[in-house]
Amino acid sequence: MKLVIVAGPPSAGKTAVIRQVIKKFVVSDNPAYLKIDVVKAFEDEELHAEFGIPTRKVYSGDLCPDHMGIMVLKDAIRWAEELKAGMLIIESAGLCLRCTPYTLQAFGIAVLPAVSGSNAPLKMAPLIALADAAVVTKTDLISQAEKEVFRECIRSVVPAIDIIETNAVQGTGMRYLFQAIGRYPGITDADAITLRGTPPLGVCTICMGKKEIGWQHHFGVIRPLEEADNLYRGD
Amino acid sequence: MNCPVHDPVMNPLQQYEITILPGRNRDGRREGFDRIVIRPGHTLSIVGPTGSGKSAFINDIEVLAQDDTVTGRVIQVNGKEPSEELVRDPARKPIALITQNTRVIADLEVARFLALHVHARDTGTEEIISRTIALANEFTGEKITGTMRMTALSGGQTRSLLIADAILIGQTPILLLDEIENAGIHKERVIACLKEYHKAVIFVTHDPYLALITDRRIVMKNGAVAAVLEPGEQEREIIGTISGMDAFLRDLREKIRGGEVIITAGPTPSLRKKTGAPA
């Protein structure tokens, strides 16, 4: 079974990309789909209704959705394998953009909307850095020149990443993503799957309820203003 | 009316030839043409009512569709399926699309934006940036400078800059222009410049003048090509008249924009010829 993990900011077009992937592989790979979200998600019902594939969702509530994803991934693989699925697609909620939900033995897709501004790839560096492919959506809304500039901005974060430009609703340009997924090997040893990078800490002294301002009052994760340029790349 | 300060550079990319193979209309029926071949220097216009598939047609060309868009068209480069590199490497892609949308997302200074594009295209040095801005200023009456922010440009400025960018930085042999008449730019100057650079140009247009001056006219209907017209000599005669009317309207527009009250519009070229009376 192939594992495909899709991440990206809210409204980037993750589900539109996944819909195209399912459409392409629905017959050959019998895909299953899991959506991880915080409070509300409908994608599982929509995709089940549209393609008749097994789908489910899990709400993370007060837990970081990517932490949630890491917690449940092993169960999800077992669920999909019991259904004899050839492909399991995991869609993250895509919230804080620091996370790298990609694992070993899984094809990682970062979905970035072309309309998000030229600094966006820098802001989402950890999300892109450890992905196998960056899918740039909504390219029909920007000019050729701007598309190329956006591409250049992604390359400034990850020089060698595979960039796929698409209008995901129409499915243009997706053939290269399909080929890359098709070539990617399936899971060989589910017990050996680990995260590709270290996720950011989910608990700090502020999370625990300490209200004092200033790093001098905290411990564990501390950031003085002067060293604030440490770009987090996911490991 | 042309671009005297810029020597057209013959780029090896300009040898590309594009072939469009038919797709299907909205009812799934095959389009009514065998193939449309576009070579350097060719001009085509795409006409048809709103929603007839004009923008989808040029989008197919832009993405070099391989029966993977809703229309099912296939676009060949030099008679065969384009290589993955040609489709995906922007520095090698022979096509630039200037969309109707003149909004810009990149919140960068003009010079910085162009510098990033030069880097992506690998087409020259810093010097090309000032040449691009100078060329854009020939297309628009509102001066553009390198320190302006892209997001602060007007629609006309944005479009002028993107066309100049496609010519000098993109150096693409094929330009797709979606309704440039809407943007308040000197379209005659743009066309003269594109001719000088020997570009293949496809206009999506509702402008009679633009539609008439192109070599071929593609008529769209129900998501598909309904006809490919090559009127040639039949229409040659009328172009002079339409050009006069177009100039008349442009002049009138400038007067209105300049705050003048129009007391007498003056004779339009065609009316003068027939009746001699003011319009």
Task: Report all structural domains of chain A as residue ranges with CATH numbers, in order of start.
Answer: 2-192 (3.40.50.300), 201-235 (no CATH)
Q: What is the predicted pLDDT for the residue at B278? A: 46
pLDDT > 70 fraction of chain B, expressed in percent and rounded? 89
Q: What is the ipTM of this complex?
A: 0.71
Query: Higher pLDDT residue, B237 or A86?
Result: A86
Which residue matches tokens 């000098």? B168
pLDDT of amino acid A227? 61
Question: Is 50 exceeded by the pLDDT of residue B126?
Answer: yes
Report residue A123's pLDDT band, with 50, 70 and 90 as the boundaries: confident
What is the rounded average pLDDT of the residues B213-220?
92
Q: What is the mean pLDDT of residues A1-28?
A: 94
pLDDT score of B8 more than 70: no
Q: Which residues contact B27 (CB under 8 A, 6 or more apart)?
A: B222
Contact A118 B84 (CB under 8 A): no
| Arithmetic mean of pLDDT, B183-204 | 86
Inter-residue contact B18 to B174 (CB < 8 Å): yes
Strands A31-37 and A2-7: unpaired
Q: Quick one: pLDDT band at residue B32, thresholds 50, 70, 90?
A: confident
* Tokens, residue A176: 């290269």
Q: Which of A25-29, A138-142, A213-217, B132-136 has the lowest mean pLDDT?
A: A213-217
Question: Is A116–B101 a contact, with Cβ atoms under 8 angstroms apart?
Answer: no
Q: In b/e form, how buried is each residue of B241-261, taking b as 16+ CB within 10 angstroms?
A: ebeebbebeeebeeeeeeeee
Higher pLDDT, B13 or A75: A75
Would you state the pLDDT for residue A145? 83
Bridge pairing between strands B224-229 and B216-221: antiparallel
pLDDT score of B148 more than 70: yes
CA nearest to B112 within chain A: A149
Of A118, A151, A175, nearest to B90 by CB-CB distance is A151
* pLDDT over 80 (residue B238): yes
- The predicted model gives A29-44 an average pLDDT of 92
- Answer positive or negative: Cα dihedral of B220, B226, B230, B234: negative
The pLDDT mean for chain A works out to: 86
* Per-residue pLDDT tens digits for A183-224: 999 999 998 998 888 776 666 777 777 788 877 787 766 666
Surface of B (79-138) touching A: CB under 8 A: 84, 88, 90, 95-99, 101, 104-108, 113, 116-117, 119-121
pLDDT at A139 over 60: yes
Of residues A157, A108, A117, the one with CA closest to residue A135: A108
Task: Looking at the complex, report in whole angstroms how far the Cα of residue B167 sits from the nearest Cα belonging to chain A.
Answer: 11
DSSP codes joined into one string, A52-118: ---EEEEE-TTS-HHHHHHHHHHHHHHHHHHTT-SEEEEE----SS-----BTTSEEEEEEEGGG-T
Span B32-49, average pLDDT: 92
Which among B98, B108, B165 is the nearest to A118, CB-wise? Answer: B108
Q: Say if residue B4's pLDDT is above 70.
A: no
Q: Which pLDDT value is given to residue A235? A: 42
Q: Which residues 6+ apart lie within 8 Å of A64 measured at CB?
A: A95, A96, A99, A202
Write out the H or E segment, with its range, that includes residue B137: helix B127-139
Q: Which residues of B touch A143 (CB under 8 A)?
A: 97-99, 101, 104, 162
Q: Which residue of A has its CA nearest to B121?
A: A148
pLDDT at A225: 67
Higher model confidence: residue B15 or residue A52?
A: A52
pTM, two decimals, is: 0.77
Q: Per-residue pLDDT tens for B71-116?
A: 999 999 999 999 888 888 777 888 888 887 777 888 889 999 999 8
